[in-house]
């Protein structure tokens, strides 16, 4: 085991909460979806097949609290909301890319 990762094994490690948020069922998919640029809620929901409004809302709120996603209210009538990755969120999405490449490659094996 890589010694730098040992801290994440401890229950009281502050990074563990962030790890849980990112690696939850919808976290990786939300980060990946927003990596191409800002999306409105309904666009994001349409892109992530199977996510409910409740789970998408919860994930976006959690990520906003973690500083990974920025929520912007657009001046339209009625008001609409756009979600975008912050610099930290973009960095996380970029770091996930090699893992996602591995998942795609592994899943396509016979």
**β-strands 80-85, 69-74: how paired?**
antiparallel
pLDDT, tens digit, for every residue of 7-17?
888 888 888 88
Token couple for 108: 């396509």
- Confidence band of 2 (pLDDT split at 50, 70, 90): low
pLDDT of residue 60: 98
Cβ–Cβ < 8 Å for 22, 31: yes
Residue 55: exposed, middle, or buried by beta-carbon count in 10 A (0-12, 13-18, 19+)? middle
pLDDT, tens digit, for every residue of 23-52?
988 999 999 999 999 999 999 999 999 999
pLDDT, tens digit, for every residue of 77-105?
888 999 999 999 999 999 999 999 999 99
């Amino acid at each position: 085991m890589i010694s730098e990762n040992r801290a994440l094994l401890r229950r009281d490690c502050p990074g563990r909460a962030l790890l849980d948020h990112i690696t939850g069922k919808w976290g990786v998919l939300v980060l990946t979806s927003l990596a191409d640029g800002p999306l409105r809620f309904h666009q994001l929901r349409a892109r992530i097949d199977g996510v409910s409004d409740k789970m998408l809302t919860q994930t976006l709120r959690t990520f906003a609290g973690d500083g990974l996603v920025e929520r912007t209210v657009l001046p339209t009538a009625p008001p609409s909301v756009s979600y975008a990755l912050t610099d930290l969120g973009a960095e996380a999405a970029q770091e996930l890319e090699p893992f996602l490449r591995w998942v795609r490659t592994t899943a396509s094996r016979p």
